[in-house]
Chains A and B, each alone.
Chain A
């Protein structure tokens, strides 16, 4: 357990006049990375209550090879940030605020298959309402940018193939091993899908890249989405109403 809070504690008078403390309620937090928790045989699904279906789906892929942490910030957010690294996650979450649909960290060099599955889940849940797909991280130490970008690109292609195109602007900022090959794959995918895009290297201030993505979001909301829709040959699509 990482945390145990007994609250309130009431004192019960015993027959001999002594007071015995009684815990009336408690709150506990288990360390879900600890296999010992499984030994408790807690009811299946106990931990699901606080998680959205989307989070539960991603959590199923949780392994020690690469992070796959997600948190839904705003179910109506129209920026979908796929973030690499805990630091980048803090920065992006801070700067995008409620514009972002999720807070995420996929760092730690996830293998291609896992990244593709995680990306597919994110896209399936959020792509239709998304104006900006934002792939962002610092200069990676060990995450293979080619593998992770290729996985995201393939998931994006699949999502377009499965449910048809949707107006989207792609912004990316990244550095690290194989960054050019990775950006190359993402570029080819955007070109094939006819999507506008801008990718920044690690020599651009990351917070300004985040700001750029936010401005693209503003533009998409005020007419850009309709323009992209026209260029994709889609009928005019309004920005999805909140809750849609």
Chain B
């Protein structure tokens, strides 16, 4: 049966009056209800409209629900299923992606005989599809709003359908009154309503028409319904160029029309609204003329030259709408709907001239915002540190990223190659503070980490030793120790950070390293925050930490404050003071969150424990580690010295320090997709980062460690094994010499020929061909000569320092002779693993030749050096996931898992 439309139209129009557009009786079905936009908007609309959404669809997710304040909305795979379940609706809302919109509308029309209205929110619907939608909807007798609109709303009925008119606070903009609003701009629909409310005008029905080439519910239909709506005394139209919908409109009630876009006509392409582009005869000037004719005025209304009549006014600036409406309605002797709610004066909510000499016209004083924004600003000002938006962090990270083009990863924006030039301490902090630290930061970090490396008498050492004896891999040895550094062991240190923030942030401390910044006499030792720390526990470690800071000439307001409180040798509180000092500036600048600052002591202690656990138990003694006494360990040297001694048992030269720093920098991260990062992130996700205090950072470190192994991390040894096999028999003495007695190219050629023969044999019998460790990286196939950017950088770096590495040089020869001998079709890249093996083996070579480092120790060292570097990147992932992630966000939906037989 053909539906009877409104009389007088050459096409179907169902709506007779504006009060029919969004009513309390409308029942709504939302297509793609679980899509990103709908998920945030639909619950607000649903609650505001008294629960008008009966169900939604989302293919493949039938059975789920969308939670809202007024109860859950059921979700079905398709519209038919929803109807079969007994739901009935007359209004469809479409949130589908553009290519699916047409089919979505077809589905609604095909299966729902009750359908009367469709609201299409989607942008960028093809013109071709819009035409097809129009044809089908016309035939079925359905009114279509949009596309590319923000839906419709009714302030009298307190209903909004589709889109988000009024935003997340519909009550603020949708005030009941007597003005209808029709707007080509969704945002301006709400903005105009807000402006009207400030001038004392409320609204009836608001329509965001959309501004695509096709406007299905356009000005003529709207004008018809406006005339017939008894509630609407006047209307506001917002009109942009393009289309001829406004030609020949006629009104008996007053209208203020805002026509914009004169300047925009110079543009030859549309920006923003697809249809807002002038063709011939429908420019802004034409539209101004049409509207002036319709409203009986002969000019544009401005505050300086107010042209208006009883029929209305034309403005070209939305801010002039309230004044024009006031004038028109006053002329007609009609009153405002309510008292004006404010003015549109310039009111800066935030501002700082940074001490510049601004002219008076620009130096507008910051004013208090209206409620509830004033209260929000006040709360914002009280908040210390950054707050990050939570999102699903599966395979995503705010801390690390890998550039797939160059293969160079970065940590908080610092490429690993640059990290390789920074100190170990600085990188340990970069992971958590999101910026490198300076020399004083290095000293603080050294003391805060090295203090926990000596594990004599600590059960963590026993756990590590037991794991080692049981034959576990180095990663598991470290994990055993980490498991014992649970939340309770750093609770006081973390509480101390909280106390420092509570006492000093609000006292205005900017720089904790500046002793004169604060009058410590004013620190009240009875202040409430201190009482959470419990009685002071002075220890020998605490004394050593305090003395080391003294020896390193680092002054911290917090350390000084502890001294005054009589807690200067309390190791936990000192750790808290060190962490607070490190975190202070990024915290105040809101680079990091308060959660990160509070967790920093835990990370520092874990760093120290992992370093300590990598050192054999016999090297730990009372007050001693690796032959250093604690005062020496904390008071002098750097963590790179400790790491080098832990790896090789020897003291480093400057050359060694540079090489080990570079090595650790390279190993920091390879982005969030690596297995180690996934392990760390999964552990956080499982604890539930939305309750950040419950996340066990030591467990997350165990996650990283358990996700490192002989293939990922321990494989560094493969390259070392290969280099030893090939080069040890040559009698190579000093791999750091500019010239070696060994002809590396010849050795490489011999190896290449052996490899070719072995490859041919393996192929003949169908055996797999073993790849050469350190080359043959598939990413770089295809070029005549393949180069790994990181390898090039490092080769250049050491060449500039005048340093030599026979192993690295051998690799360069090898890829060339493999090509020369026809083994490879192009010159393969020497990859980063080869560089790492070469750097590491060069450090160990003298002791290996001397027989001090057997194969087992070499393998262990290669694995451990990976763990040292990667614990930095994984600490960053852990902290990032705690701050930004969602509970259980790393799991894979069952629908994407496969069963294998």
Residue numbers of A with Cβ under 8 A of B are 2, 31, 33-36, 50, 64-65, 67, 69-71, 73, 83-91, 93-95, 97, 103-105, 107-109, 111-112, 137-142, 144, 146-147, 150, 158, 161, 175-181, 183-185, 187-188, 190-192, 194-209, 212, 215-216, 219, 224, 227-228, 231
The reply on B389 being an interface residue by CB < 8 A is: yes
24 contacts between A and B (CB under 8 A): A34-B126, A64-B98, A71-B269, A87-B187, A87-B260, A95-B317, A97-B263, A140-B187, A161-B413, A178-B168, A183-B349, A184-B377, A185-B386, A185-B590, A198-B351, A198-B362, A199-B350, A204-B344, A205-B319, A206-B319, A208-B344, A212-B364, A215-B361, A228-B356
Task: List 16 additional A-B contacts (Cβ < 8 Å) besides A36-B126, A191-B352.
Answer: A34-B129, A64-B124, A87-B191, A87-B238, A90-B273, A94-B263, A139-B173, A139-B191, A141-B164, A158-B413, A177-B168, A183-B349, A196-B358, A199-B348, A199-B349, A224-B356
Q: Is the CB of B348 within 8 A of A200?
A: yes
Interchain CB contact (< 8 A) of B124 among A33, A138, A147, A205: A33
Q: Is the CB of B364 within 8 A of A198?
A: yes
Interface stretch of the complex, out of B35-43, B483-491, B614-622: B35-43
Closest to A34 in B: B126
The reply on B482 being an interface residue by CB < 8 A is: no
Closest to B388 in A: A150
Chain B residues 340-377 with CB under 8 Å of chain A are 342, 344-359, 361-362, 364, 366, 369-370, 373, 376-377
The reply on B205 being an interface residue by CB < 8 A is: no
Q: Is the CB of B272 within 8 A of A142?
A: no
Q: Distance (Å) between the CB of B290 and the closest chain A CB?
A: 17
> A34-B127, A94-B263 known; A142 and B351 CB under 8 Å?
no
Task: Enumerate chain B residues within 8 angstroms of A88, measured Cβ to Cβ.
Answer: 185, 187-188
> Whole-angstrom distance between the alpha carbons of A216 and B358 in the complex?
9
Task: Enumerate chain B residues within 8 angstroms of A142, measured Cβ to Cβ.
Answer: 37, 40-41, 150, 163-164, 167
Interchain CB contact (< 8 A) of A86 among B211, B346, B380, B386: B211
Q: Is the CB of B389 within 8 A of A201?
A: no
The reply on B719 being an interface residue by CB < 8 A is: no
Q: How would residues 262 to 297 of chain B score, 1 for a CB under 8 Å from any chain A CB and 0 otherwise?
A: 111001111111101000000000000000000000
Query: Which has the most chain B C-beta neighbours within 10 Å: A73, A158, A205?
Result: A205
Closest to B197 in A: A203
Q: Is the CB of A194 within 8 A of B354?
A: yes
Closest to A187 in B: B350
Closest to A108 in B: B123
> Whole-angstrom distance between the alpha carbons of A119 and B412 in the complex?
18
The reply on B23 being an interface residue by CB < 8 A is: no
Interchain CB contact (< 8 A) of B348 among A84, A176, A198: A198
Query: Which has the most chain A C-beta neighbours within 10 Å: B350, B351, B352, B380?
Result: B350
> Whole-angstrom distance between the alpha carbons of A97 and B264 in the complex?
9
Task: Enumerate chain A residues within 8 angstroms of B551, measured Cβ to Cβ.
Answer: none
> Whole-angstrom distance between the alpha carbons of A43 and B729 in the complex?
60
Q: How would residues 760 to 780 of chain B score, 1 for a CB under 8 Å from any chain A CB and 0 otherwise?
A: 000000000000000000000
Q: Distance (Å) between the CB of A53 and the closest chain B CB?
A: 16
Query: Which has the most chain B C-beta neighbours within 10 Å: A97, A196, A198, A208?
Result: A198
> Whole-angstrom distance between the alpha carbons of A56 and B265 in the complex?
22
> Whole-angstrom distance between the alpha carbons of A216 and B188 in the complex?
25
Q: Is the CB of B342 within 8 A of A203?
A: yes
Interchain CB contact (< 8 A) of A146 among B269, B347, B370, B389: B389
Q: Distance (Å) between the CB of B356 and the closest chain A CB?
A: 5
> A158-B413, A177-B168, A201-B369 known; A184 and B380 CB under 8 Å?
yes
Q: Is the CB of A198 within 8 A of B271?
A: no
> A180-B373, A199-B348, A231-B356 known; A84 and B187 CB under 8 Å?
yes
> A34-B127, A207-B318 known; A94 and B389 CB under 8 Å?
no
Q: Distance (Å) between the CB of B783 and the closest chain A CB?
A: 23
Q: How would residues 171 to 215 of chain B score, 1 for a CB under 8 Å from any chain A CB and 0 otherwise?
A: 001000000000111111111001100100000000000010100
Interchain CB contact (< 8 A) of A150 among B41, B165, B389: B389
The reply on B565 being an interface residue by CB < 8 A is: no
Interchain CB contact (< 8 A) of A219 among B97, B350, B362: B362
Task: Enumerate chain B residues within 8 angstroms of A183, measured Cβ to Cβ.
Answer: 349-350
Q: Is the CB of B370 within 8 A of A111?
A: no
Q: Is the CB of B186 within 8 A of A85?
A: yes
Interchain CB contact (< 8 A) of B187 among A85, A95, A216, A227: A85
> Whole-angstrom distance between the alpha carbons of A26 and B167 in the complex?
45
Q: Is the CB of B188 within 8 A of A36?
A: no
Task: Enumerate chain A residues within 8 angstroms of B269, measured Cβ to Cβ.
Answer: 50, 71
> Whole-angstrom distance between the alpha carbons of A86 and B261 in the complex?
11
Q: How would residues 219 to 248 of chain B score, 1 for a CB under 8 Å from any chain A CB and 0 otherwise?
A: 000000000000000000010100000000
Task: Enumerate chain A residues within 8 angstroms of B126, measured Cβ to Cβ.
Answer: 31, 33-36
> Whole-angstrom distance between the alpha carbons of A91 and B271 in the complex?
12
> Whole-angstrom distance between the alpha carbons of A6 and B357 in the complex?
60
Q: Is the CB of A64 within 8 A of B123?
A: yes
3 smallest CB-CB distances across A and B, nearest first, come from: A87-B185, A86-B272, A34-B126
Task: Enumerate chain B residues within 8 angstroms of A206, measured Cβ to Cβ.
Answer: 191, 318-319
> Whole-angstrom distance between the alpha carbons of A93 and B165 in the complex?
24
Interchain CB contact (< 8 A) of B194 among A64, A93, A202, A208: A202
Q: Is the CB of A199 within 8 A of B351?
A: yes
Interchain CB contact (< 8 A) of B240 among A86, A178, A181: A86
The reply on B872 being an interface residue by CB < 8 A is: no
Q: Is the CB of B261 within 8 A of A203?
A: no
Query: Which has the most chain A C-beta neighbours within 10 Å: B168, B188, B272, B359?
Result: B272
Chain B residues 306-355 with CB under 8 Å of chain A are 316-319, 342, 344-355
> Whole-angstrom distance between the alpha carbons of A184 and B381 in the complex?
9
Q: Is the CB of A86 within 8 A of B127?
A: no
Closest to B349 in A: A201
Task: Enumerate chain A residues within 8 angstroms of B173, measured Cβ to Cβ.
Answer: 139
> A31-B128, A87-B185 known; A141 and B273 CB under 8 Å?
no
Q: Distance (Å) between the CB of A210 and the closest chain B CB?
A: 10
The reply on B589 being an interface residue by CB < 8 A is: yes
> Whole-angstrom distance between the alpha carbons of A34 and B269 in the complex?
16
Q: Is the CB of A198 within 8 A of B260?
A: no
Q: Is the CB of B127 within 8 A of A207?
A: no
Q: Is the CB of A141 within 8 A of B150?
A: yes
Q: How would residues 763 to 804 of chain B score, 1 for a CB under 8 Å from any chain A CB and 0 otherwise?
A: 000000000000000000000000000000000000000000
> Whole-angstrom distance between the alpha carbons of A177 and B339 in the complex?
26
> A34-B128, A87-B183, A139-B167 known; A94 and B348 CB under 8 Å?
no
> Whole-angstrom distance between the alpha carbons of A3 and B69 in the complex?
47
Q: Distance (Å) between the CB of B264 and the closest chain A CB?
A: 5
Task: Enumerate chain A residues within 8 angstroms of B187, measured Cβ to Cβ.
Answer: 84-88, 107, 137-141
> Whole-angstrom distance between the alpha carbons of A190 and B167 in the complex?
27
Task: Enumerate chain B residues within 8 angstroms of A138, measured Cβ to Cβ.
Answer: 187-188, 190-191
Closest to B263 in A: A94
Q: Distance (Å) between the CB of A145 and the closest chain B CB?
A: 10
> Whole-angstrom distance between the alpha carbons of A146 and B387 in the complex?
10
Q: Is the CB of B590 within 8 A of A188?
A: yes
Q: Distance (Å) between the CB of A6 and the closest chain B CB?
A: 16
Query: Which has the most chain B C-beta neighbours within 10 Å: A84, A175, A219?
Result: A175
> Whole-angstrom distance between the alpha carbons of A220 and B848 in the complex?
66
Interchain CB contact (< 8 A) of B373 among A67, A158, A201: A201
Task: Enumerate chain B residues within 8 angstroms of A215, measured Cβ to Cβ.
Answer: 361-362
> Whole-angstrom distance between the alpha carbons of A90 and B38 in the complex?
27
Q: Is the CB of A107 within 8 A of B272?
A: yes
Closest to B377 in A: A180
The reply on B676 being an interface residue by CB < 8 A is: no
> Whole-angstrom distance between the alpha carbons of A157 and B389 in the complex?
18
> Whole-angstrom distance between the alpha carbons of A33 and B269 in the complex?
14
Task: Enumerate chain A residues within 8 angstroms of B271, measured Cβ to Cβ.
Answer: 69-71, 86, 89, 93, 103-105
Task: Enumerate chain B residues within 8 angstroms of A70, measured Cβ to Cβ.
Answer: 271
Task: Enumerate chain B residues within 8 angstroms of A207, measured Cβ to Cβ.
Answer: 317-319
Interchain CB contact (< 8 A) of B362 among A179, A192, A203, A216: A216
